Amino acid sequence: MDKEMMPSSLLAHYNKEIVKKEIFEFSKNRWIALYGKTMIRYNGEEPLSLSSPEEVPSLVKRFNARTIYATAGKYEKVNKENVSGDKIVAYTPFFDIDTKIDKWEYAIKAADVIISALDKEGVSMSVYLLWSGEGIHVRINENAIPKDYDPLTAAHAIVQYILRKVKDEIKKLSDESEGVLKIDELIDAKRIFTAPLSFHKELDYVAVCFSPDKLHEFNLDWAKPDNFRHEEGVFSRYVEDETEELLSKAILEYKPTHEGIKPERRTTPQGKIGRFQVMGIVQAARYYVLYGDLPKAESFGLNRAIFYAWAKYYGKGYTPKVTGQKLPAEFRKDRILVTVAGEQVYQNPENGLFVIGDKEQTPEDYNREIKEKINAVIPYDKAWEATVKYVSSFPKEVLLNQREFYQKVYLPIRDAFIEKVVNRKSGLDAFFK
């Protein structure tokens, strides 16, 4: 593309504040690439990178570029000494769903299949989507991968594992699309993908990001450059170590297929229980100690685990993908807001179970999301007995106060549940060491 032929609308797009900000925030510590007539990855001898939002339109103009890419891998520093595969410090797992523009709906259907598979494996809150132009990426925030795994191996193991799980459904969709729909394993050390809000390399669409709960609202108008619809900062949202349970299974079945990726085994001890499950069992025990109703306690525990995970990582204005039994229409209007243990929560007045969105959290949901996952590490009955004993050791006024409970009961044990609750010493001193 000759400089004088670069459309003014292209530069105007990259000069927009939200575009500069989103591309920079996503691309920090990533090696970027620019595409115009050719792919450009170096500025002199140094790999291209961004040090400020203002560099986005500056580099686009300087190199006559149309599209901005970034590496799936992140580095401590982006320089010529530090961008080899063994210097990757984090890696964004992604599923590249490819189709043609006239059959774009098949990409949405395939994304739904993958999102559902990830959700069944306990990975949902770190997932976001990017419409890439003629397809869609399902991406997982890199911080959802535990730090004691090699990031590149972990990302590839996750993608490989999920694609095996959904291969029959994806094949069916591919056949329906007459072979247009494709999903490939593209995880490797040098992989680049489209940066959020970048122009597509050929089509007049921009890459917009959005959360999974908005998947079925999407249409191609969202990606029009003059009036795009993009969920700001969605690629930064995550639950720390959310992929841990999935990864522990995926790595056992992992078969490396790319150069530079080798089977990885954890060197740290097994048996960690996730924060979501810790919050769930501790909140359930809190309710049980105060009110003594086990089914409602389990409903309350899962409800609060969902709420706190949502509030911490997504903030106001986001509707979480909620686990639970969908309420009949007649109950949705009749749910009531009650105060339980100092926390405001919606309740189904018909059976007393607790509600988020239009779903109530049942004991069966608690069994699936909390009990079974704890039981995979240690016997749940042992964990429950120890948790009730632990929670009971606190004064009632602490259990009835939302802030006090979070800070004094939950926080000290959230990352050391087995050590500080199940295997605890007598007395409260052990909890705060």
> Helix crossing, 17-27 with 55-62: angle to 10°?
90
Which residues does 241 contact at the CB level (< 8 Å), separation at least 6? Answer: 144, 145, 146, 274, 275
> Do 236 and 382 share a domain, yes or no?
no
Give pLDDT tens digits for 126-139. Answer: 999 999 988 999 99
Distance of alpha carbon 61 from alpha carbon 114, whole angstroms: 37
The CATH number of residue 243's host domain is: 3.90.920.10
For residue 235, being part of any structural domain is answered with: yes
Q: What does the pLDDT read at residue 301?
A: 94
Looking at the fold, whether 377 and 245 belong to one and the same domain comes out as no
Q: What is the pLDDT of residue 258?
A: 59
Q: Which of 219, 253, 287 is the last residue of a domain?
A: 253
Mean pLDDT of all residues belonging to the chain: 87
Q: Which two tokens stand for residue 100?
A: 């043609």
Across the range 234-256, mean pLDDT stands at 87
Confirm whether 327 is domain-assigned.
no
324 lies in a domain? Answer: no
Residue 433 reports pLDDT greater than 50 = no
Q: Are residues 67 and 200 in the same domain?
A: yes
Residue 266, domain member (yes or no): no
The pLDDT-based confidence of 310 (bands split at 50, 70, 90) is confident
Same domain membership, residue 102 and residue 224: yes
Instruction: Output the six-digit token pair for 219.
Output: 């249409």
User: Same structural domain for residues 285 and 233?
Assistant: no
Quote the crossing angle between the two packed helices 105-120 and 151-176, to the nearest 10°.
130
Check whether residue 248 and residue 381 sit in a common domain. no
**Predicted pLDDT of residue 1:** 42
Residue 366: inside a domain: yes
pLDDT digits (tens, 9 = 90+) for 89-145: 999 999 999 999 999 999 999 999 999 999 988 899 999 999 998 899 999 999 999
Q: Are residues 197 and 288 in the same domain?
A: no
Note the pLDDT of residue 219.
95
Band of residue 4 on the pLDDT scale cut at 50, 70, 90: very low
Long-range interactions of 226-232: CB distance < 8 A, separation 24+: 226/9, 228/197, 230/18, 230/22, 230/196, 230/197, 230/206, 231/128, 232/18, 232/22
Q: Say whether both 295 and 375 belong to one domain.
A: yes
Residue 205 · residue 183 · CB < 8 Å? no
410: Cβ–Cβ under 8 A, 6 or more apart, which residues? 278, 279, 282
Give residue 5's pLDDT band: very low, low, confident or very high (50, 70, 90): very low
Residue 130 belongs to domain spanning: 8-253
Inter-residue contact 111 to 215 (CB < 8 Å) = yes
The number of folded domains in the chain is 2
**Do residues 306 and 214 share a domain?**
no
